[in-house]
Amino acid sequence: MPPILVTRPTLPPFEEYTALISKIWENRWLTNSGPLHQQLAGELKKYLNISNISLFTNGHSALEVAVHCTHLPKGSEVITTPYTFASTTHAIVRNGCKPVFCDISYDDYNIDTTKIEELITDNTSAILPVHVYGTPCHVDEITRIAKKHDLKVIYDAAHAFGVEIAGRSVSSFGDATMLSFHATKVFNTIEGGAVISPDKRITDAADQFKNFGMEGNDDYIDVGTNAKMSEFQAAMGVANLKYVDQNIGIRKILCDRYTELLQGVEGVRVLARPKNVKSNYAYYPILIEEEYELTRDQVCDKLAENEIYARKYFYPIVTEYSCYKGKSGFPNDSVAKDVSMKVICLPLYDTMDVSIVDKISALLAH
């Protein structure tokens, strides 16, 4: 058996992708908001049931630009989670703002909304939560806190493509939301991402900023960047979107099987899925608790000996990266740190056979 990686990209049938990109040879339109880009934007609006979207060459650029377009004052504080990928914090810092780290909840590994208000100061401008593993944050509570203190909310929904709360797209909350369409995500455009906002002025500003801040042919009204999605990326998106529900359906079967086999194993904690949520089954995280016979790292080694390469998403927490260490004031004894010391994301992707779930679960159960 070939090595089992934590994930593999979803690919559409080869002929369907080549049929789409053959149009590029006909019209010689490679990038800069071409027809495939327009088609994908339209199809995503329908699929996600949202009004405004701006497509990006990757999720990180989308997040950086989302923060820029919500006009946070330079030097202001943005309350965020340390239990995330580097991108979340980098997007705040690269916009000249200061990340203020709030601990996470042990229930869902998302920002702990009961601890946000104590971190708010006169200099706080925004909250930037992450829907970790695709589990939605407590959006109603975050909206309440933001309204009370006049703060912006920008969601990092890199993991949450297609997730719904009580029938409403998770990307429709807050002032802006970023999605990632990276190769390793439930829906991919090779590399890619998007800014979504209920406010068209934000997505229009994002469209302009990702194209150098250009207005008309002759003027630049902002010191923008280049973060446009190409036609090859958009073609992959159009082709993959047709299969995204099928992909999520397969992931659900695999996740349910993991849960069936692992939830009774002493010392292994599986993540509960909230009831009113349509999940995208993006990741399968487990925690290796103290009662388990091996440590988390020993479990990873044992899996690797069997050519199974699970990953520690997210370890270490962001405040322990060299570029942030010692600067955050985040306490050492946090839920975020505890979870990061115990977490393993198990292999999960649409071409994975259920027998692999059985094999991994059997290794964990003994």
- Would you tell me which residues interact with ligand T4K (CB under 6 A)? 5-9, 58-60, 63, 84-85, 87-88, 130, 156, 158-159, 180, 182-184, 193, 309, 313
Q: At what angle do helices 231-241 and 35-48 cross, to 10 degrees?
A: 40
For ligand T4K, give the closer residue by CB, 126 or 292: 126
CB of 253 to ligand T4K, least distance (A): 20
CB of 189 to ligand T4K, least distance (A): 9
Separation CA 212–CA 140 (nearest Å): 35
CB of 293 to ligand T4K, least distance (A): 26
For ligand T4K, give the closer residue by CB, 190 or 292: 190
User: DSSP secondary structure string, 208-267?
Assistant: HHTBTTEETTTEESS---B-PPPHHHHHHHHHHHTTHHHHHHHHHHHHHHHHHHHTTSTT
SS3 (DSSP) at 302: helix
Asked if 166 and 276 touch (Cβ cutoff 8 Å), the reply is yes
CB of 188 to ligand T4K, least distance (A): 9
Asked if 197 and 63 touch (Cβ cutoff 8 Å), the reply is no
Separation CA 273–CA 287 (nearest Å): 15
Backbone torsions φ then ψ of 305, nearest 5 degrees: -60, -25
CB of 17 to ligand T4K, least distance (A): 15
For ligand T4K, give the closer residue by CB, 9 or 12: 9
Residue type, 225: T
SS3 (DSSP) at 80: strand
CB of 322 to ligand T4K, least distance (A): 16
Asked if 161 and 136 touch (Cβ cutoff 8 Å), the reply is no
CB of 291 to ligand T4K, least distance (A): 28
Asked if 146 and 120 touch (Cβ cutoff 8 Å), the reply is no
For ligand T4K, give the closer residue by CB, 24 or 348: 348
Residue whose beta carbon is closest to ligand T4K = 59
For ligand T4K, give the closer residue by CB, 53 or 158: 158
Taking the CA atoms of residue 143, residue 149, residue 150 and residue 156 in that order, the dihedral angle to the nearest 10 degrees is -40
For ligand T4K, give the closer residue by CB, 177 or 292: 177
CB of 28 to ligand T4K, least distance (A): 27
| Tokens of residue 261, six digits | 């086999």
CA atoms within 13 A on the CB side of 106: 8
For ligand T4K, give the closer residue by CB, 78 or 292: 78
CB of 156 to ligand T4K, least distance (A): 5
Asked if 332 and 275 touch (Cβ cutoff 8 Å), the reply is no
For ligand T4K, give the closer residue by CB, 130 or 238: 130
For ligand T4K, give the closer residue by CB, 48 or 158: 158
